[in-house]
């Protein structure tokens, strides 16, 4: 008997099979050739593409390899059209009390990973050092700022840009006397509306505090 598996699956791969199939078609390959190249059997490819079985991570990796894409591309949550434009009717908003204001540029559609805002930082404003997953890019629309990445300091002025791995500790500072406008573009979801929350209350089940000195 199958145990009472929770009703997980909410983030389930969706139609991975379809993705694989369309990609294969895109390359004009036959199941046979894909199977051979990936070291699998034809029948299995068929089963996977039709969603009857799901491949192991290893097999998926082989397939992604053969199909010349990243393994990720098959696990995205649905393509779907999604909304599109945005004009100069952008909702400029600023956090209460904060002196920075934002103009959201990017939209959110199923599968979207890139987010973008124009950030207006007043003179003297500092963004504390931070490190997180993903990558980001700045393009200075107006004004100038100081960017520090893992100790390295750079001064960026109008027209300059920088692109880096967000895991590297980074901070910014508007050292000038004018407001700086920065076009920010990155993979971090700063709007927090991308994936459905779902939120199981995991936190509440552990031992309250902790807050040890932490390792590292």
Residues 1-40, interacting with a copy of itself (CB under 8 A): 3, 5-6, 8-13, 16, 27-30, 32-34, 36-39
Verify binding: residue 195, a copy of itself, rule CB under 8 A. Answer: yes
CB of 142 to DNA, least distance (A): 48
CB of 97 to a copy of itself, least distance (A): 27
Contacts of 180 (CB under 8 A, 6+ apart): 120, 121, 140, 142, 143, 144, 145, 174
Tell me which residues in 30-89 interact with DNA (CB under 7 A). Answer: 30-32, 35, 39-50, 53-56, 58-59
Is there a contact between 139 and 183 (Cβ–Cβ < 8 Å)?
yes
> Which H helix or E strand runs over 127?
strand 126-130
Q: Please, is 88 exposed, middle or buried when counting C-beta atoms within 10 Å of its C-beta (0-12, 13-18, 19+)? A: exposed
Tell me which residues in 148-207 interact with DNA (CB under 7 A). Answer: 206-207
Binding span for a copy of itself by CB under 8 A among 67-75, 94-102, 120-128, 172-180: 67-75
Pick between residue 43 and residue 124 the one whose CB is nearest to a copy of itself. Answer: 43
Q: Please, is 133 exposed, middle or buried when counting C-beta atoms within 10 Å of its C-beta (0-12, 13-18, 19+)? A: exposed
């Amino acid at each position: 008997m199958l145990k009472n598996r929770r009703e997980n699956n909410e983030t389930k791969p969706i139609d991975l099979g379809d993705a694989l199939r369309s990609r294969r078609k895109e390359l004009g390959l036959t199941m046979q050739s894909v199977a051979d190249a990936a070291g699998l059997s034809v029948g299995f490819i068929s089963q996977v593409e039709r969603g009857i079985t799901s491949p192991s991570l290893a097999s998926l990796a082989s397939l992604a390899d053969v199909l010349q894409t990243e393994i990720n591309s098959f696990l995205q949550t649905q393509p779907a059209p999604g909304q599109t434009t945005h004009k100069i009717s952008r909702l400029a908003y600023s956090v209460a009390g904060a002196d920075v204001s934002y103009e959201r540029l990017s939209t959110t559609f199923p599968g979207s990973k890139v987010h973008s805002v124009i950030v207006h930082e007043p003179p003297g404003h500092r963004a504390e050092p931070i490190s997180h997953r993903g990558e980001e890019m700045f393009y200075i629309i107006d004004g100038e700022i100081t960017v520090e990445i893992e100790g390295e300091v750079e001064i960026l002025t109008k027209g300059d840009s920088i692109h880096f791995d967000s895991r590297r500790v980074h901070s910014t500072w508007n050292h000038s006397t004018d407001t700086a406008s920065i076009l920010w573009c990155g993979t971090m979801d700063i709007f927090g509306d991308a994936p459905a929350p779902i939120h199981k209350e995991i936190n509440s089940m552990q031992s309250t505090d902790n807050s040890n000195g932490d390792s590292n």
